[in-house]
Each structure stands twice: as structure tokens, then as C-alpha cells.
Amino acid sequence: MERLDPASPSDGLTALHGIVTAQDPAGPVMSPRHFAARAGSGAAGERAETWVARDGGEVVGGHIGHYPPGDNGHLVILRLAVHPGRLREGIGTSLLDHAIGRVRADGRRVIVAEAAADGPGSAFAKGRGFALAGTESRMVLDLTAADWSGLELLRARAARSARDYSLERWTGPAGPDLLDDMARLMNGMNDEPLGDLKIEERRWNGDRIRAMEESTARTGLTTYTMVARHTATGEPAGFTQLLVDPCEGRGWAWQSSTSVLRPHRGRRLGLVLKLAAVTWFRACEPSIERVVTWNSTANPHMLAINRALGYEVLDGWNLWQLEM
């Protein structure tokens, strides 16, 4: 096994990027910069390790592990990939054995990974003792076919329930005066259903928000943030974010986090936020044709919102967990 330094371009990193891309031809492609950044750190700036396996000098697979700090210091988020032409040769088993060794050496006891429900990754995980801990639907909104006049009427109706709130928006990192508000809103993500995943609540503060934004900046992605604020008190109530990579090249964007804090639920803010955000995003990014998102199948409320916007299911994904 060979450990890579994602900060330094190499044939190993390029080859691993190609292998990972080949695993999922149906979805958006991570640009080389995006991939290198995620091989170097997690979405919230988590420490990462990236390894590749070679056969006769050729990269035949690899694994990337993200090591969360503090509140989830017991687990590793693992991505493992084998060259599609080298499946069922024991390469995946060797990679997983090596990854498990790295996890144990760091004193951690849980590995979480995801794989397409009907793909070889899920069969491999089940065969290696991983337990199914959750399921997700990957959904796509076709911006070229959306009923925009119908969505505008839907937004107007939903806004009647949210008259006590105003919306604000920005692109890129949050200003210094917004970091504490974003931390409060991100803490609301802890209410997301996790199934049987052994993931603890993540405690967000302004410093952690800034670390996440710095990690995003390294990917080259641009973040579009829409926030709902209670007009009378000024309290943040909810938010949603979309991400776009100008180097992705195939017309995709990502719908990222959405949350409404508990005291403000029941006012259709989630729907209002996502409708306002995607309308704004479309005006700013006219070359984007499709937006992809993942939703837990245990979260019917968010699934219903996405269906109302016109999202359709592309495929299903499984979340696998190995406890050691």
C-alpha cells in the first residue's frame, strides 16, 4: 500500500480519481481539484488518509478515510474503490483489511461507508460483515424541465404560513457576523434521522463553521446559502445550501444541507427556503441543468418537500457500518 499526499499531484491520485469516477457514471463528476481536496480533508475539515494499491505499478484501487475529531472520535468515514476491470480479485479485501488496520491503529472502533444499493459495493460490504445501518434515495431535479410557474405559485402559497420570517442570502463564505448564526443552524442538522448509525451529535461553533468553509474553498466549489430569519427577534430559523463546481463540466450541482430549527417548524419554512434558493440559484448559474441530493428514507418530510419541487429518484444507496 502507498500513502498519497493529495496536496502534491501524482499519478496515483490521478488514477484513483479515475477509478472513483468510474464507480458512479450516473451522477455528477468530482473535478480533479474537488477530488484532491476531499482526499486531503473531510467536508468539515476532518483529517484524512488516502492510500492506493498497485499491481505492477498500476493503481488498481484505493481507500480514503475521514477521521472526525472530538464528538465522533470513535469512527471513520471510509470510501473504498477498486478498478472496475479488477473486481473479484481480492483487491477490495486487501484494501479493507488495510483500512481496518489504520482505523484500529488510531484507536477507533466504527467504520461507516456508503454504496449503491444494487451495486457491487453493497454486496461486498455485506459479505465482509458490515451491517445495513440506513438507506437513502438519491434524487435529481431537472432544471430544464421544471414547472417554474407552478413552483412560483407553490412558493407564494407556502409563504403565507411564513409571514413572520424574512429571507437573506449570500454566495461563498459567511461573513464574520454570521458564523454564530450558522453554527446554530448547523446544530439543527443533528435532528436528521440516522437510522442505526453510531454517529454522535456534532457540536458546531463559529470556528468549526469557518473550518468547513475553508475546506469547501479548497475544493473550488461555490456555496449558495439561503437563511430564514424571524423578523421580530432576528433569530435564525432555518437554512439551505446549494453547491456548484465550475470545473464539473457536466451541468450538475449539489443540494446540500437543509434544516429548520425546532421552535420554527410547522410554518413551511423548509419548502419556502428550498424554493427560493433554487430559483435564485438558477438565475445565477444558467449553465446548470441538474441538481442532485441525497435524502434518508427515514425522513418523509424532506422527501415530500423534494418531490413537491420536482425531484425524482435516480437510485438508492445503502449506509453500511462495521463495529469492531
Q: What is the per-residue pLDDT across 260-277, written as a single tens digit (0 to 9) for each? A: 999 999 999 999 999 999
> Kindly report the CA angle at 255 between 20 and 269, in degrees rounded to 5?
155
**Are both 145 and 283 inside the same structural domain?**
yes
Same domain, 26 and 156: no
Residue at 182 is within a domain: yes
Assess whether 102 and 152 both reside in one domain.
Answer: no
CB 134 within 8 A of CB 115: no
Residues 55 and 160 in one domain: no
199, part of any domain: yes
Contact 229, 237 (CB under 8 A): yes
> Tens place of pLDDT for every residue, the chain, 324 residues?
999 999 999 999 999 999 999 999 899 999 999 999 999 999 999 999 999 999 999 999 999 999 999 999 999 999 999 999 999 999 999 999 999 999 999 999 999 999 999 999 999 999 999 999 999 999 999 999 999 999 999 999 999 999 999 999 999 999 999 999 999 999 999 999 999 999 999 999 999 999 999 999 999 999 999 999 999 999 999 999 999 999 998 999 999 999 999 999 999 999 999 999 999 999 999 999 999 999 999 999 999 999 999 999 999 999 999 999
DSSP code of 108?
-
The Cα 35–Cα 249 span in angstroms is 14
| Residue at 202: amino acid letter | R
**Cα gap 92→206, rounded to integer Å:** 39
d(CA 17, CA 218): 16
In a domain, 129, yes or no: no
Among 294, 251, 280, residue whose Cα is nearest residue 171: 280
- C-alpha span between 24 and 114 (Å, rounded): 12
Do 146 and 74 have their domain in common? Answer: no
56: buried, middle or exposed (CB in 10 Å: 19+, 13-18, 0-12)? exposed
Distance of CA 32 to the CA centre of its chain: 17
Taking the C-alpha atoms of residue 298 and residue 193, their distance in angstroms, rounded to an integer, is 6
CATH number assigned to the domain comprising residue 72: 3.40.630.30
User: Is 316:124 a contact under the CB 8 Å cutoff?
Assistant: no
Q: Are residues 149 and 93 in the same domain?
A: no
Q: In the numeric block, which cell numbers belong to residue 107?
A: 484507536
The pLDDT of residue 118 is 95
Residues 259, 158 within the same domain: yes
In the chain, the number of structural domains is 2
Q: CB of 94 within 8 A of CB of 282?
A: no
Inside any domain, residue 143: yes
The sign one gets for the Cα dihedral 30, 34, 36, 38 is negative
Which residue type does 17 have? H
In this structure, the answer to whether residues 306 and 214 fall within a common structural domain is yes
What is the pLDDT at residue 131? Answer: 98
Domain that includes residue 191, residue range: 139-315
Q: Are residues 143 and 292 in the same domain?
A: yes
Given a contact cutoff of 8 angstroms between Cβ atoms, the answer to whether 218 and 40 are in contact is yes
Residues 166 and 80 in one domain: no
Closest CA to 144 of 248, 286, 250: 286
Q: Is 126 domain-assigned?
A: no
The verdict on residue 210 lying in a domain is yes
Q: How far apart are CA 305 and CA 169, in angstroms?
A: 20
42 and 147 assigned to the same domain: no
| 184 in the same domain as 278 | yes
231 Cβ contact partners less than 8 Å away, ≥ 6 residues apart? 164, 165, 166
21 in any annotated domain: yes
Q: How far is Cα 91 from Cα 59, in angstroms, rounded to an integer?
A: 11
Closest CA to 230 of 204, 209, 260: 260
How far is Cα 267 from Cα 260, in angstroms, rounded to an integer?
10
Hey, is 307 helix, strand or coil? helix
Per the domain annotation, does 179 fall within a domain? Answer: yes
Q: What is the pLDDT of residue 96?
A: 98
User: What pTM value is reported for the model?
Assistant: 0.95
